[in-house]
Amino acid sequence: MEEKNFVVGVDVGGQTTKIGVVDTRGEVLTQSVIRTDTYGTDAEAYVSALADAIIKVIDAAGKKDEIRGVGVGAPNGNYYTGTIAFAPNLAWAANGSIEFSKMLSEKLGGIPVSLTNDANAAAVGEMAYGVARGMKNFIMITLGTGVGSGIVINGQVVYGHDGFAGELGHTCVVRNNGRTCGCGKQGCLEAYCSAIGVAKTAHEWLEAGDEPSKLRECDTISSKDVYDAAKEGDALALRVFEYTGTLLGRQFADFVAFSAPEAIVLFGGLARAKEFLYDPIMNAMNENLLPIWKGKVKILFSSLKESDAAILGASALAWEL
Amino acid sequence: MEEKNFVVGVDVGGQTTKIGVVDTRGEVLTQSVIRTDTYGTDAEAYVSALADAIIKVIDAAGKKDEIRGVGVGAPNGNYYTGTIAFAPNLAWAANGSIEFSKMLSEKLGGIPVSLTNDANAAAVGEMAYGVARGMKNFIMITLGTGVGSGIVINGQVVYGHDGFAGELGHTCVVRNNGRTCGCGKQGCLEAYCSAIGVAKTAHEWLEAGDEPSKLRECDTISSKDVYDAAKEGDALALRVFEYTGTLLGRQFADFVAFSAPEAIVLFGGLARAKEFLYDPIMNAMNENLLPIWKGKVKILFSSLKESDAAILGASALAWEL
């Protein structure tokens, strides 16, 4: 029997799906991209297109019979059931539950498929190839359109009783009169500390006064605009990041009280604002930690190349198959 | 070699230490109690007295060479290092770090000793003998003088990177102008939802107005007084429990977002107020949960006999030795 020393990593995003063949050292041999959002509500059509693309990328790498499995990271992907359910950003899985792993494995002639949500995949990738290498206890926080999380305890991703553990973006950071979050609740971390949350904070603060700011020139403000303005020394933009980092740090202190991690690892678009987020996060976290942890918990920023990270994270899942 | 089918459980409390010999079915064969608080800062003297008491209770059970190990639950007990450090309620371990497991094992002629904090021990006991039997994912919350927690994920107690995980009593429940907690931080769950916190809430509310209440007759109010008054229908006392339960429920929702447990198990003196706490906890928790968890997470109250529970929990640790 031939040894199966390669895996496929698949990162399902709202707009595009990235696919790559990965070797044991985390080298991406071949990769490709398909659209995620051109299949309407037809899950069958999307999964078929994905299977075709996976077969092509395996052929391109010349590893037809050497694939151990396919690891998939997708919003609301459930590790236990292999389903994607009620994922608002995936039209074909927005209103029900798709038996994703089973469908994909069948279309791939039985190659096993392992599924988890995108933040858990990122955590696995960081542990296998990134700044969390060698760590057995850390928390991955993904700061993108939303705020996701992947929690690693004793070297294992925490899936919980039902496979949905690690929704730290929906813990409460502002208890009274908090912003309404996309999930319907009020005051969630995601409503403040996602890319959308940062833009919203800037927008609200501009509305609330007449302090001069470069951001007044923008038609609609994005988190990128706030970042660029902060880079140029814009006082309001700088305060937006300080506020965002402070909220993150406070919440991180509570996460530390739960699982006593060695580090919290930040990943995603907003994590690029490291220079503006690091100090306020550290200060607020340490202010709110019990004495036993003050000054001892690291805040790290993902070192993985953004284009590879998602594929690597998902692929790392497949090694366990 | 003789089979070792018995363990010793030791529960170290601030005032007394309970010791029992336990069989594989969780039956306490013999038990005894020694004082914890009469040794001043002399850890050596306390551990010697404890070892003597353990030997006596083993002899009384007639199991001299059949003891697999000793499991100990103690405030600030560290599973990894076997030390008790900076435990404010234990004079002999308040100002430094005691190599507890090593000292005790030596005095017992080499019988292995396993140590953890009291809330983790309670969680292990509940999983082995109580309402959490068969559960692999649950959170134990101990509502006593303080608020402790033991977190079980995948059937294992979470110790974290340093052995100190599970300090949920020190997560923040009131962000602004919160009460100062015994730990020095502001707004901790423990400052509101412990026995002391409940008494304090009653006291504050009595001071703030002139609403009639049976509690006005008390010299100093204890949580027991509030419970008794609530039993008699005292409106203010009932509202104190509703408030306490609401704060617990809110916080529990965030804990669920972390580890997606099957249940949260309540234990300790204050948990006896089940009739007043259950509804407000459930309502506040479900209001603050993501839709995927609403109505699905159980709130359970420990079923273990209080006198045995602490010993059983600690003893369960020793089976892993």
As a whole number of angstroms, the longest Cα–Cα distance in chain A is 72
Whole-model pTM? 0.93
Distances (CA, A) of A248 to A41, A95, A185, A252, B8: 36, 31, 18, 6, 44
| Residue B162 with chain A: CB contacts under 8 Å | 260, 292-293, 296
Mutate to test the interface with B, among A177, A265, A290 (most CBs of B within 10 A): A290
Q: Are A212 and A228 in contact (CB under 8 A)?
A: no
Answer yes or no: do B165 and A290 touch at CB < 8 A: no
Which of B162, B258, B262, B265 should be substituted to probe chain A, the one whose Cβ sees the most A Cβ atoms within 10 Å?
B258
A109 touches chain B (CB under 8 A): no
- B-chain residues within 8 Å CB-CB of A253? 172
- When pLDDT is cut at 50, 70 and 90, the band that residue B26 belongs to is confident
Indicate the pLDDT class of residue B88, thresholds 50, 70 and 90.
confident
**Percent of chain B scoring above 90 in pLDDT:** 83
**A5 contacts A24 by C-beta, under 8 angstroms:** yes
Question: Taking CB atoms and an 8 Å cut-off, how many pairs form between chains A and B?
Answer: 119
Judged by DSSP in three states, B31 sits in strand
Q: What is the pLDDT of residues B228-238, one digit of tens each?
A: 999 999 999 99
B contact residues 134-153, partner A, Cβ 8 Å cutoff: 136-137, 151, 153
pLDDT, position A1: 52
Measured CA distances, B318 to A110, A254, B72, B124, B155 (Å):
45, 30, 8, 10, 16
Nearest CA distance, B13 vs chain A (angstrom): 21
Whether B136 has a pLDDT exceeding 90, the answer reads: yes
Q: What are the angstrom distances between the C-alpha of A153 and each of B134, B151, B162, B320?
A: 21, 11, 12, 19
Residue B293 touches chain A, beta carbons under 8 Å: yes
Low-confidence ranges of chain A (pLDDT < 70): 1-2, 306-307
Q: How far apart are CA B145 and CA B204, in angstroms?
A: 18
How many C-beta atoms surround the C-beta of residue A41 within 10 A?
13
**pLDDT (tens digit, 9 = 90+) per residue, A242-264?**
999 999 999 999 999 999 999 99
Query: Residue B2 has what pLDDT?
Result: 63
Mean pLDDT within B192-197:
96
Q: How far is B165 from chain A (nearest CA, A)?
A: 5
- Find out whether B267 and B124 touch, Cβ atoms under 8 Å: no
Q: How long, in residues, is chain A?
A: 321
DSSP E strands, chain A: 6-12, 16-23, 28-35, 67-73, 84-85, 97-98, 113-116, 138-143, 147-153, 156-157, 263-267, 298-301
Q: Could B288 and A183 be called an inter-chain contact, meaning their C-beta atoms sit closer than 8 Å?
A: no
Query: Which residues does chain B have within 8 Å of residue A171's beta carbon, measured at their own beta carbons?
Result: 254, 257-258
Cβ-defined contact of B165 to A258 (cutoff 8 Å): yes
Q: Which residue has 């590790």 as its token pair? A: A79
Which of A160, A262, A292 is facing B137, going by the closest CB pair? A160
- Give the pLDDT band of residue B181 (cuts 50, 70, 90): very high
A290 touches chain B (CB under 8 A): yes
CB contact under 8 Å between A164 and B292, yes or no, is yes
**Closest residue in chain A to residue B287, using alpha carbons only:** A185
Give the mean model confidence (pLDDT) for residues B36-61: 96
Q: Which letter does DSSP use for residue A217 in this model?
A: G
Which of A167, A174, A298 is most worth mutating to test chain B (most B CB atoms within 10 A of its CB)?
A: A167
Question: Is the predicted pLDDT of residue B1 greater than 60, yes or no?
Answer: no
Q: What is the pLDDT of residue B112?
A: 97
Residue of B170, B175, B288 lying closest to A257 (CB–CB): B170
Q: A258 and B175 in contact by Cβ < 8 A? A: no
pLDDT digit string, tens, across residues B258-293: 999 999 999 988 999 999 999 999 999 999 999 999
Does any CB of chain A come closer than 8 Å to the CB of residue B245? no
Contact by Cβ (8 Å): A22, A7: yes
Question: What's the gap in Å between the CA of A246 and the closest CA on chain B?
Answer: 13
pLDDT of amino acid A319: 86
What integer best gives the mean pLDDT of chain B?
Answer: 94
Query: What pLDDT is attached to residue A226?
Result: 98
**Shortest CA distance from A167: residue in chain B:** B257
